[in-house]
C-alpha cells in the first residue's frame, strides 16, 4: 500500500471521470500529492483493447517517478533503433538510435502492450491509499456550491450526489464532460483507418528485425512494427486511407481487403498475410479545443486534445497532463480554479503543437507516388539524425 502525504483531511475528493491511461495516471499523480480521488468509469470493467503503444521518455519518466518503472520494464521493450523502410521493398532509408534516449532524456523509449500498461496502472491504483475506483458509473450533472462542486454520479441502479473539490474529465475523444460544460463540437472522421494485429515473436522472420521499431512508408499507406510483452509478441499497425467511415474502437478487419490495398508492398506482404486477425478502427481528429478549464472543472488527455497517432503521443500527452495538473493543484490546493487556469495556459500550446505535428506527419506518411520519392530521399539524407529535431517533444519535464 503506497502512503501519500495528507494535504488536508477536510478537502473533499477530486472526481476523475474516465479510467483510461489519462484518468488512472491522474489518480496516481494526485494521490502521490496527498489528494483523495474518486475515479468513475462508465465501463463495467477494463477490456484488453488495442495493441501496442509507444511510450517516449516525456511519458516514461513520469510513470517511473510514480513507481511503475520495475513493472513496466518487465512488460515493455526498449528497441535499439527506429528504422525507416520503404513499404514496397523494405529497403532501409534511415536508422535512428533509440537506446540513447535514456542518456539524453533520463528515461527510456519503451514500447508496450496497451493492456499491460493499463493493468500496471490499475494494480497501482488499487494499491494506493486514497483512491476509490468505481466501475459502471458516470458523472451525469455538476452544480457549483459553497463547499466546491455537487456532482451527480449515476450507476445502473442508483444516483448519488457527492461534494467534489474539483472534477477532471479524462473521458476520452467523445468526452461527455465537455458536453456537460457546453462544448458540443464533435470529432470528425480523419479519413485514416488503422489496422492492428499481433503475432508471437517466434513466428516472425528475423529478416524483419522485429526487435526494432520500424516505420514502413509507402504511397498513401504506412505501417509500424515493434516488439511488445517483454519481446514475446510482435505488434504491427498499418494505416490506410478509407472511403467509407465506420465508428468504433475496434472491429474485425477484412484481411483480403488490406492485402488488396497493399498489393505493391511485395516484400512485406508475407508478414501481413501471417496475421490471423486484424482489429480495425477509423481515426478521428478535431481542431484543438480553445478552452479546457471551467472554474473547478478541467479536461485532460483525449477529452481535451485528441491526437492522430502519427507521432505516437496521445497517451504520452495524457500522462504529461496528469503530472502537470497534479503538480499545479498541489501548489494551490485551496484554489483548484487557479490551478486549472494555469494548467490550460501551460498545456494548450504544447498539445496544439503535438496535434499539428502529428497531422503533418500524417500527410507526409500518406503522400501519393511520385511525391514519395522526394520524401524518401529527404529521410535517407537525414539518416541517423532523424529524431534530432524532437528534443522539444521527448525532453519535456
Ligand X SMILES: Cc1cc2nc3c(=O)[nH]c(=O)nc-3n(C[C@H](O)[C@H](O)[C@H](O)COP(=O)(O)OP(=O)(O)OC[C@H]3O[C@@H](n4cnc5c(N)ncnc54)[C@H](O)[C@@H]3O)c2cc1C
Interface contacts to ligand X, rule CB under 6 A: 17-23, 40-43, 53-54, 138-139, 170-173, 176, 194, 237, 283, 301-303, 307, 309, 312-316, 318
Kindly state the smallest distance separating residue 358's Cβ from ligand X, in Å. Answer: 10
DSSP class of residue 368? P
Phi and psi angles of residue 226, each rounded to the nearest 5 degrees, phi first? -165, 165
Q: What residues act catalytically?
A: 226
Is residue 220 packed enough to be buried (19+ CB in 10 Å), middle (13-18) or exposed (0-12)? middle
How far apart (Å, rounded) are the C-alpha atoms in residues 217 and 156? Answer: 47
Question: Residue 68 or residue 315: which is nearer to ligand X going by CB?
Answer: 315
Kindly state the smallest distance separating residue 82's Cβ from ligand X, in Å. Answer: 12
Kindly state the smallest distance separating residue 349's Cβ from ligand X, in Å. Answer: 18
Other C-beta atoms within 10 Å of 39: how many? 25
Question: Residue 41 or residue 376: which is nearer to ligand X going by CB?
Answer: 41
Residue 313: alpha-carbon gap to chain centroid? 6
Question: Residue 176 or residue 341: which is nearer to ligand X going by CB?
Answer: 176
Question: Residue 43 or residue 188: which is nearer to ligand X going by CB?
Answer: 43
Residue 374: helix, strand or coil by DSSP?
A: helix
Kindly state the smallest distance separating residue 184's Cβ from ligand X, in Å. Answer: 15
* Grid cell at residue 194: 488503422
Beta strands 81-86 and 213-217 are parallel
DSSP 219-269: SSEEEEEEEEGGGTEEEEEEEEE-SS----S-EE--HHHHHHHTTT-TTTH
Question: Residue 35 or residue 278: which is nearer to ligand X going by CB?
Answer: 278
Is residue 102 packed enough to be buried (19+ CB in 10 Å), middle (13-18) or exposed (0-12)? middle
Kindly state the smallest distance separating residue 112's Cβ from ligand X, in Å. Answer: 9
Kindly state the smallest distance separating residue 42's Cβ from ligand X, in Å. Answer: 4
DSSP H or E run through 150: strand 149-154
List, edge to edge, every strand of the sheet that includes 149-154: 138-144, 149-154, 159-164
Question: Residue 202 or residue 363: which is nearer to ligand X going by CB?
Answer: 363
* Residues 317/325, Cβ–Cβ less than 8 Å: no
Whole-number CA gyration radius for the chain:
21
* Grid cell at residue 40: 468513475
Kindly state the smallest distance separating residue 144's Cβ from ligand X, in Å. Answer: 20
Question: Residue 89 or residue 176: which is nearer to ligand X going by CB?
Answer: 176
Question: Could you tell me where the DSSP H helices lie in 55-135?
Answer: 57-65, 69-75, 101-105, 114-126
Amino acid at each position: 500500500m503506497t502512503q501519500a502525504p495528507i494535504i488536508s483531511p477536510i478537502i473533499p475528493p477530486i472526481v476523475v471521470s474516465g479510467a483510461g491511461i489519462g484518468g488512472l495516471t491522474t489518480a496516481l499523480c494526485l494521490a502521490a500529492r496527498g489528494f483523495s480521488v474518486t475515479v468513475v468509469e462508465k465501463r463495467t470493467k477494463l477490456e484488453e483493447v488495442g495493441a501496442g503503444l509507444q511510450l517516449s521518455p516525456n511519458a516514461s519518466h513520469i510513470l517511473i517517478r510514480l513507481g511503475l518503472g520495475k513493472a513496466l520494464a518487465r512488460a515493455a521493450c526498449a528497441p535499439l533503433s527506429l528504422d525507416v523502410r520503404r513499404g514496397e521493398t523494405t529497403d532501409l532509408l534511415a536508422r535512428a538510435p533509440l537506446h540513447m534516449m535514456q542518456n539524453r532524456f533520463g528515461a527510456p523509449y519503451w514500447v508496450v502492450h496497451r493492456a499491460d500498461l493499463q493493468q500496471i496502472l490499475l494494480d497501482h491504483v488499487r494499491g494506493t491509499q486514497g483512491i476509490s475506483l468505481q466501475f459502471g458509473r458516470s458523472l451525469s450533472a455538476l452544480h457549483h456550491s459553497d463547499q466546491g462542486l455537487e456532482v451527480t454520479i449515476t450507476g445502473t441502479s442508483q444516483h448519488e450526489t457527492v461534494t467534489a473539490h474539483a472534477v477532471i474529465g479524462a473521458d476520452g475523444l467523445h468526452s461527455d464532460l465537455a458536453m456537460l460544460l457546453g462544448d458540443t463540437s464533435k470529432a470528425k472522421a480523419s479519413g485514416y483507418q488503422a489496422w492492428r494485429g499481433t503475432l508471437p515473436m517466434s513466428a516472425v522472420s528475423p529478416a524483419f528485425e522485429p526487435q526494432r521499431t520500424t516505420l514502413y512508408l509507402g504511397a498513401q499507406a504506412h505501417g509500424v512494427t515493434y516488439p511488445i510483452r517483454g519481446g514475446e509478441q510482435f505488434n504491427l499497425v498499418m494505416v490506410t486511407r478509407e472511403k467509407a467511415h465506420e465508428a468504433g474502437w475496434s472491429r474485425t478487419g477484412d484481411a483480403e481487403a488490406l492485402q488488396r490495398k497493399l498489393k505493391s508492398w511485395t516484400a512485406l506482404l508475407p508478414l501481413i498475410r501471417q496475421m490471423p486477425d486484424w482489429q480495425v478502427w477509423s481515426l478521428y481528429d478535431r481542431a484543438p479545443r480553445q478552452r479546457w478549464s471551467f472554474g473547478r472543472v478541467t479536461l485532460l488527455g483525449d477529452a481535451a486534445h485528441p491526437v492522430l497517432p502519427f507521432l505516437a503521443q496521445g497517451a504520452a500527452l495524457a500522462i504529461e497532463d496528469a503530472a502537470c495538473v497534479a503538480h499545479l493543484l498541489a501548489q494551490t490546493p485551496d484554489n483548484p480554479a487557479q490551478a486549472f487556469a494555469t494548467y490550460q495556459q501551460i498545456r494548450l500550446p504544447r498539445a496544439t503543437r503535438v496535434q499539428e505535428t502529428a497531422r503533418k506527419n500524417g500527410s507526409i506518411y500518406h503522400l501519393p507516388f511520385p511525391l514519395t520519392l522526394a520524401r524518401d530521399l529527404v529521410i535517407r539524407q537525414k539518416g541517423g539524425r532523424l529524431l534530432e529535431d524532437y528534443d522539444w517533444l521527448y525532453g519535456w519535464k
